[in-house]
Homo-oligomer: A and B are copies of this chain.
Amino acid sequence: MGTAEETAGGEAQAWGEVTPDAARRLLIAAVEAFAERGYHATTTRDIAGRAGMSPAALYIHYKTKEELLHRISRIGHEKALEILRTASRREGTARERLADAVSSFVRWHAGGRTTARVVQYELDSLGPDARAEILALRRQCDDEVRGIIEDGVAAGEFDVLDVKGTTLAVLSLCIDVARWFNVDGPWTPDEVGALYADLVLRMVGEK
């Protein structure tokens, strides 16, 4: 796993798949604005302005402001799921896979805090159909983590009272990093990832 080379203003490399260039610039501008002020407090004029364009230019590439949030949410959740899948499906003990999953997931939330904040906390601003689609991705994230914990319990590595509840708590802990993590604070994303991996292993009765 790479170190956290991302900063609050420079998470752009994650959006490489979005084309053309103007559409990507608008998307990145929207991520920054949504993260700073929230979806409803962000104006389309602000997004276009950050991308160096006129307010009308936004509507050449996106039908509505909500479509921007939908696109950001889907790409972000797909990335989150990919991170958890990679850790879950590697070889190794349940302990190693869980530590890997937590530390890389936390690193993503801390290092890409701008993106993660939008992805994790602006879900309710989507309409019913879009929200349902995203919630399906989120359930898959839950499944990956629960799978690792179940494996650990079955192998006798972990000692867990309530698998479903513990899964939820582990994910909740990781996700909430996006709320409190501060780039100017005392920790790097790597440090928080390592600390949290240790805490989670304790939660599942390991160590």
User: Measuring CB to CB, which residues of chain A are less than 8 angstroms from any residue of chain B?
Assistant: 37-38, 40-41, 121, 124-125, 161-162, 164-166, 168-169, 172-173, 175-177, 179-180, 186-187, 192, 195-196, 198-199, 202-203, 205
Contact = CB atoms under 8 A, between A and B. Distances in A.
Identical subunits present: 2
A136 to B, nearest CB: 16
Given A202-B203, A202-B205, A172 B169 contact: no
B121 A41 contact: no
Nearest to A172: B176
24 contacts: A38-B38, A38-B124, A38-B125, A40-B40, A40-B41, A41-B125, A161-B195, A161-B198, A162-B195, A164-B186, A165-B187, A165-B192, A168-B180, A169-B173, A169-B199, A172-B173, A172-B177, A172-B180, A173-B173, A173-B176, A175-B176, A176-B176, A202-B203, A203-B203
B176 A196 contact: no
Contacts of A176: 172-173, 175-176, 179
Contacts of A199: 166, 169, 203
A124 to B, nearest CB: 7
Given A38-B124, A40-B40, A41-B125, A169 B196 contact: yes
